[in-house]
Amino acid sequence: MGSSELKRSKDSVSSDESARRSSFPDEVLERVLSLLKPHRDRSSVSLVCKDWYNAERWSRTHVFIGNCYSVSPEIVARRFPRIRSVTLKGKPRFSDFNLVPENWGADIHSWLVVFAAKYPFLEELRLKRMAISDESLEFLAISFPNFKALSLLSCDGFSTNGLAAIATHCKNLTELDIQENGVYDKGGSWLSCFPESFTSLEVLNFANLTSDINFDALEKLVGRCKSMRVLKLNRSVSLEQLQRLLVNAPRLAELGTGSFSQELTIREYEELESTLSNCKIMHTLSGLWDAKGIYLPTLYPACSNLTFLNLSYAALQSVELAKLLAHCPRLKRLWVLDTVEDKGLEAVGLNCPLLEELRVFPADPFDDEIVHGVTEAGFLAVSFGCPRLHYVLYFCRQMTNAAVATIVQNCPDFTHFRLCIMNPGQPDYLTNEPMDEAFGAVVKTCTKLQRLSVSGLLTDLTFEYIGRYAKNLETLSVAFAGRSDWGMQCVLGGCPKLRKLEIRDCPFGNAALLSGLEKYESMRSLWMSACNVTMNGCRLLAREMPRLNVEVMKEDGSDDTQAYKVYVYRSIAGPRRDAPPSVLTL
Amino acid sequence: MSTPLEHDYIGLTETSSMERSSEKISSSSSSSSIPSIEDKTSKTANDTCLNLKETELRLGLPGSQSPERKLSLFGKDLETNDNKSNGFAGSSPLKNLVSGAKRGFSDAIDGSNGKWVFAMNCKSEVELAKGAVLASPRGGLDSKTNSQQAKTSVSVMKEVVGVPQSPKPVQDKNNLVPPVNEHASAPASKAQVVGWPPIRSFRKNNMASNLTKNSDEGAGCLYVKVSMDGAPYLRKVDLKTYNNYMEFSSALEKMFSCFTIGQCNSNGLPARDGLSESRLMDLLHGSEYVLTYEDKDGDWMLVGDVPWEMFTDSCRRLRIMKGSEAIGLAPRAMEKCKNQN
């Protein structure tokens, strides 16, 4: 504490401020600011004056870095000396859909090396779309004795060996959350690496992994970790095994079941039912792989306090869903597959008046064989019954402008509106007009809109609407839309809060790209792929805006004048040095 | 009505892009070598399908492009019409006749060589061409709206797909996927646009196996063929999606109404308003058609005699036959019913 006080007096500024400071000691300011959590508020605080900047940086324990290349680990460590928890995001979002080359970057290792030196007491690391090797995981496990929480979402590059290292060395681990990653699953023995003396685990999510795990080890682990509140199993865990686990963990707040389709005897069914009925405080339920309708009733008693139900891996029919939802009156978030169809969504509208978030995923996105799925009717039904709906992700094969207009009238509080009409460029199927008016209605009516994904046949008019009305929009995803540069120019010219713009397969060219010159520094990033942007355009952008990194991903054998994939982001770390040969930094 | 004309992303817009459209196209053709697993598998699928298409027997001039079922307004099941269905006399030639009809339709599309032209890999073009074609009619049928809409959709489709007017991109497309390939790729694994729809790999991989499991166990659906005497093609229905005869009959009625319009009117029944639930039954019982099914034992039975669950359990396929042929059927059905009772 003494050395830090010395530092602060070194940082002192004018005598005016020192007079003010004496009546408001730094310690108090720091104490007050330490209660401030949201990172955006902290950013605002740091801009007030130099004293506040310093108080803020000394009191900050969690840092959120939305783009790992926007800053270097050294810069972070220099500014924030007392970090205990780091959230890092790496690759552009379209890497989730295979649009980013394998070896693009976002490797965590260089960060870990700096952290090991500067933050030896690091406790939490949450990574999204980063590349992590087993060596990095082992390095992490060994370098931070206080390490508590590891969360990996949509990352890749590691195998279960890395998880074994974490299990072996992290004596104080409370959270291990492995979600939707590209994990090389070498088998389930990593679970056995938790020592017998290890009891601190509160969150365990290995639903991502595919191979069989050592159930005996898992059972013992769950048995001795009395504080466990989140347990998400993978598909290899059977119903009977689930029942055995739950007997030891009735206080679970979040449960992800394994496979929900074993052949059960009557007695086993009743046992499961009874065990589940003890799980009264459960608020999140997921998993339910291969769920068979006949076993769903065992869940009913556990659903009374459910606020989040994730059925996106259970191909339920409408009737099954309706029956289940009748027991979930408190539901706020629901994820389903479109096998439930419009009828299932009608049941949602009828049974879930408190619903705030709905995600409908396509069961067969690539197959036209089977006529399943949801239409505008289902979405309408939900909007009539769930006025609090503010987050939607909806995959469908048909939509109309009129339906969307009605939907947003029913639910004007949308903050996240992600509509994916799966056939690219499909018009309103009743009027055959573009879907411009649909998204126009969304941006006009939903003034709180933060995130928008558009689809269907769209002209520049959609983007005129967005630029003019979407005053709070931060993230915009566009695919197969627009007619000319004007569309993108409208967005860049409007949307004062725009932070992330991702565009694929649109007719936007250099004029559009360059119209955002001033804008990009206030944004996190811009992605444009399969548009009409050229290398010359990108070079011009890079030349005019030195504080932007302009990266072009080359395709083998492609035309050298076209910029097929462009990723532009602001950075105070300068151009990155770890780019693979296929990525050109201009 | 505003039409989506000139929806061509290669240099035909009024954009002030600096490059020539041809350059864009050539770059997009070379971009087809995006290294992704999906590309490789669909390419293989393309190749396989191409071979199958070339050896398929069909009516029509050699070298004429076989229209894919995906381009058909009326059904995807024609190609699944296995040759075991010997019970249906004349089904094979009927199928080929339909092919002719389809060809005409697809000609309309091919004639203008209208396909979505995007500055991206050729496979996505293929996909989008089909996607555009698919869009409206499927929507029209799926939502069980009347065939009026479906018909409107057809003309829209032609309009929508016949969009790129300029010959320039068309010619430049020669260095992309040749048309034959595009058609050929339809029946097998659908040619995929890379990264579309935007679903994470983990979800994609796990949903697929999830559903395979379901269908293997037969829990999900129960598809049976429905034929109607005099109709040029069959339909398939999923019996599991209906809960009783009334739902089923109204669905069938919608499906086959285009063939019964004449009968409707001549019987004085309104063509399309306020459906009464058992209209098909009325229609069938009252006039020329009878709904029959083949049960597990291979016998042809009259639909409606047994409880719904029993019917779905035993029904193997359906036939809407002309009343004149069904005269001998009913008594036999009644007898069997008595025996079962």
Per-residue confidence (pLDDT) for residue A458, from 0 to 100: 97
Instruction: Give CA–CA dist A185/A188, Å, rounded.
Output: 8
pLDDT band at B324 (very low <50, low <70, confident <90, very high): confident
The percentage of residues in chain A with a pLDDT greater than 70, rounded to a whole number, is: 95
pLDDT for residue B86 is more than 80: no
Instruction: Give CA–CA dist A93/A520, Å, rounded.
Output: 17
pLDDT for residue A569 is more than 50: yes
pLDDT band at A20 (very low <50, low <70, confident <90, very high): low
Per-residue confidence (pLDDT) for residue A26, from 0 to 100: 78
Per-residue confidence (pLDDT) for residue B211, from 0 to 100: 52
CA-atom Rg of chain B in angstroms: 23
pLDDT for residue A63 is more than 90: yes
Highest-pLDDT range among A410-419, B63-72, B183-192: A410-419
Query: First and final CA of chain A: distance in angstroms?
Result: 45
pLDDT band at B327 (very low <50, low <70, confident <90, very high): low
In contact, A304 and A331? CB cutoff 8 Å: no
Question: Using CA of residue A235, residue A395, residue A381, residue A359, what is the dihedral sign?
Answer: positive
pLDDT (tens digit per residue) in A27-54: 888 888 888 888 888 889 889 998 889 8
Per-residue confidence (pLDDT) for residue B328, from 0 to 100: 58
pLDDT for residue A88 is more than 60: yes
With CB atoms and an 8 Å threshold, state whether A364 touches B3: no
Per-residue confidence (pLDDT) for residue B141, from 0 to 100: 34
CA nearest neighbour of B181 among B236, B253, B129, B141: B129
More confident residue, B296 or A4: B296
Instruction: Give CA–CA dist A308/A46, Å, rounded.
Output: 36
Tokens for A450, please give them: 């933060």
pLDDT (tens digit per residue) in A271-290: 888 999 888 889 999 999 88
Tokens for A514, please give them: 């360059």
In contact, A458 and A427? CB cutoff 8 Å: no
Chain A residues within an 8 Å CB radius of B219:
292-293
pLDDT band at B297 (very low <50, low <70, confident <90, very high): confident
Which segment of A176-185, A274-283, A288-297, B96-105 scores lowest on mean pLDDT?
B96-105
More confident residue, A14 or A329: A329
With CB atoms and an 8 Å threshold, state whether A290 touches B214: yes
- What value does the mean pLDDT of chain A take? 91
CA nearest neighbour of B102 among B72, B80, B60: B72
Chain A contact for B138, CB < 8 A?
A: yes
Which segment of A459-463, A491-495, A557-561, B20-24 scores lowest on mean pLDDT?
B20-24
pLDDT (tens digit per residue) in A197-241: 999 999 999 998 988 889 999 999 999 999 999 999 999 999 889
Peptide bond into B197 cis (omega under 30): yes
Chain B residues within an 8 Å CB radius of A398:
135, 138-139, 142-143
In contact, B66 and B53? CB cutoff 8 Å: yes
pTM given for the model: 0.67
CA dihedral defined by A74, A76, A79, A85, rounded to 10 degrees? Answer: -130
Per-residue confidence (pLDDT) for residue B311, from 0 to 100: 86
Chain A residues within an 8 Å CB radius of B131:
422-426
Residue of A nearest to B158 (CA): A432
DSSP state of A176: E
Mutual angle of helices B245-266 and B147-161, in 10-degree steps: 90
In contact, B279 and B253? CB cutoff 8 Å: yes
Query: Could you tell me if the ipTM is greater than 0.90?
Result: no
Per-residue confidence (pLDDT) for residue B153, from 0 to 100: 39
Tokens for A498, please give them: 């725009």
Give the closest of B190, B194, B211 to A315, CB-based.
B211
CA nearest neighbour of A550 among A504, A578, A497, A586: A586
Q: Averaged over B124-143, what is the pLDDT?
A: 37
pLDDT for residue A152 is more than 70: yes
Give the gap in angstroms from C-alpha A499 to the nearest C-alpha of chain B. 20
**B155 CB contacts (<8 Å, ≥6 apart)?**
none
**In Å, what is the CA distance from A306 to each residue of A334, A551, B14, B102, B137?**
10, 45, 53, 51, 40
| B91: region left, alpha or beta (phi > 0 left; psi from -120 to 50 alpha) | alpha
Chain B residues within an 8 Å CB radius of A400:
none
pLDDT for residue B198 is more than 90: yes
Beta A203-205 vs B300-302: how paired, if at all? unpaired
Q: Averaged over B174-184, what is the pLDDT?
A: 36
Q: Averaged over A82-88, what is the pLDDT?
A: 96
Which segment of A110-124, B55-69, B95-109, B277-291 scores lowest on mean pLDDT?
B95-109
Give the gap in angstroms from C-alpha A240 to the nearest C-alpha of chain B. 19
pLDDT (tens digit per residue) in A299-350: 999 999 999 999 999 989 999 999 999 999 999 999 999 999 999 999 999 9
HSE-CB for B75 with a 13 A CA cutoff: 21
Which one-letter amino acid corresponds to residue B68? Answer: E
Beta A525-529 vs A500-504: how paired, if at all? parallel
More confident residue, A424 or B47: A424
pLDDT for residue A134 is more than 70: yes
Residue at token pair 């865990």: A237
In contact, A141 and A169? CB cutoff 8 Å: yes
pLDDT for residue B187 is more than 50: no
In contact, B292 and B323? CB cutoff 8 Å: no
**A361 CB contacts (<8 Å, ≥6 apart)?**
A312, A335, A336, A337, A338, A393, A395, B199, B203, B207
Q: Averaged over A505-520, what is the pLDDT?
A: 94
- Tell me the β-bridge partners of A396: A421
pLDDT (tens digit per residue) in A524-543: 999 999 999 999 999 999 99
Chain A contact for B214, CB < 8 A?
A: yes
- Tell me the β-bridge partners of A585: A551
pLDDT for residue A575 is more than 70: yes
In contact, A397 and A423? CB cutoff 8 Å: yes
pLDDT for residue B296 is more than 70: yes
pLDDT (tens digit per residue) in A448-457: 999 999 999 9
Residue of B nearest to A317 (CA): B220
Neighbours of A18 (CB within 10 A): 12
Per-residue confidence (pLDDT) for residue A183, from 0 to 100: 87
Tokens for B307, please give them: 């409880």
Beta A548-553 vs B235-238: how paired, if at all? unpaired
**B67 CB contacts (<8 Å, ≥6 apart)?**
B99, B102, B103, B105, B106, B183
Which segment of A37-41, A416-420, A546-550, B182-186 scores lowest on mean pLDDT?
B182-186
Chain B residues within an 8 Å CB radius of A434:
2, 4
Instruction: Give CA–CA dist A477/B193, Å, rounded.
Output: 17
pLDDT band at A368 (very low <50, low <70, confident <90, very high): low
Instruction: Give CA–CA dist A569/A549, Å, rounded.
Output: 5
Tokens for A523, please give them: 């944004």
In a mutational test of the A interface, the residue from B214, B216, B222, B247 whose CB has the highest number of chain A CBs within 10 Å is: B214
CA nearest neighbour of A107 among A583, A585, A578, A582: A578
Per-residue confidence (pLDDT) for residue A106, from 0 to 100: 95
pLDDT for residue A464 is more than 60: yes
In contact, A255 and A243? CB cutoff 8 Å: no
pLDDT for residue A351 is more than 50: yes
The percentage of residues in chain B with a pLDDT greater than 90, rounded to a whole number, is: 1
pLDDT for residue A101 is more than 50: yes
Residue of B nearest to A378 (CA): B143
- What value does the mean pLDDT of chain B take? 52
Per-residue confidence (pLDDT) for residue A573, from 0 to 100: 92
pLDDT for residue B157 is more than 80: no
Per-residue confidence (pLDDT) for residue A180, from 0 to 100: 83
Residue of A nearest to B145 (CA): A430
Q: Averaged over B149-165, what is the pLDDT?
A: 39
pLDDT for residue A67 is more than 70: yes
- How does DSSP assign A415-449, residue by residue? SEEEEEESSTT---TTT---THHHHHHHHHH-TT-
Sequence-ordered alpha helix ranges (H) in B89-223: 91-111, 122-142, 147-161, 167-172, 179-184, 201-217
Residue of B nearest to A514 (CA): B17
Per-residue confidence (pLDDT) for residue A522, from 0 to 100: 94
pLDDT for residue A520 is more than 90: yes
CA nearest neighbour of A494 among A526, A521, A522, A464: A464
Per-residue confidence (pLDDT) for residue B20, from 0 to 100: 41
Q: Averaged over A569-576, what is the pLDDT?
A: 93
Per-residue confidence (pLDDT) for residue A582, from 0 to 100: 82
CA nearest neighbour of A124 among A154, A148, A153, A144: A148
Classified as helix, coil or strand, A219 is helix
Establish, for the pair of chains A and B, how many residue pairs have beta carbons separated by less than 8 Å: 228
Give the closest of B127, B140, B194 to A99, CB-based.
B194
In contact, A129 and A102? CB cutoff 8 Å: no
